[in-house]
Amino acid sequence: MEDIFNEKLDSIIMRVKLEPKDYFWFTLYYLWKKMHQFILFSGLLFFIGIIILIAKGPSLKLIILFLPFFAFIFTLLSTVYTGKQNAEKHGNRTYTIHENGLSFISEEIQASYKWSTIVEVLKTKRYIYLFTTPNSALIFPTRIFIGEHLSEFMGFIPFNKRKEKINKSTQSKSRLVIFLLIAFLLIVGIISFLNS
């Protein structure tokens, strides 16, 4: 992987080579952000299905419990495949970052964004995501930044756009407890239905 930082006229030019895992981690983050309740519910149904399968043996009714989990697994597997294709097609990018925004060029795509059009900037341990829409983002792996380049890069991003990934608030935890309680009640209802 080649990483080049050049400072020219108050701008940074850098080459980024995205790998399939970069697309996978973004999709995983996105799925969790948009569908975490479905993911938890399907995992819970899968776990209940395994318990019933062990206790009572195989049954066609158990398919209902396994379908959501397998739908999620299918989504993850298709993400691995499309991530590989995206990395091959669009993985090599040259970015120019300056005080007004950023632009990039890849083999098939060329785009420019003003900072005002960036919806959100999220910094995690492994990545910096610049969301251009609520559903898509420019991916910057933190592995490409050497020394002070990360702080230099972040210095171009307007402060009101930045977000650090932090621990969930107590409000989010109470929502999770309520969701798990509702999921538990639904599962009890499903088990009752399967036993009848």
| Local confidence pLDDT in tens for the 196 residues of the chain | 344 444 445 778 888 888 888 888 888 888 888 888 888 888 888 888 888 888 788 887 778 888 888 888 888 788 777 767 776 766 788 888 888 888 888 887 888 999 888 888 888 888 989 898 888 888 889 888 887 888 888 888 876 555 555 444 455 677 777 777 777 777 777 777 766 6
To the nearest 10°, the Cα dihedral for 116, 117, 121, 126?
A: -130
* Contacts of range 41-50, beta carbons closer than 8 Å, 24 or more positions apart: 41/68, 41/179, 41/183, 41/186, 42/68, 42/69, 42/71, 42/72, 43/69, 44/180, 44/183, 44/184, 44/187, 45/69, 45/187, 45/190, 48/187, 48/190, 48/191
Q: Is the CB of residue 186 less than 8 Å from the CB of residue 40? A: no
Distance (Å, rounded) from C-alpha 11 to C-alpha 72?
42
Residue 166: per-residue pLDDT: 44
DSSP secondary structure, 6-39, as one string: EE-SSEEEEEEE--HHHHHHHHHHHHHHHHHHHH
Residue 170: per-residue pLDDT: 53
Distance (Å, rounded) from C-alpha 66 to C-alpha 74?
12
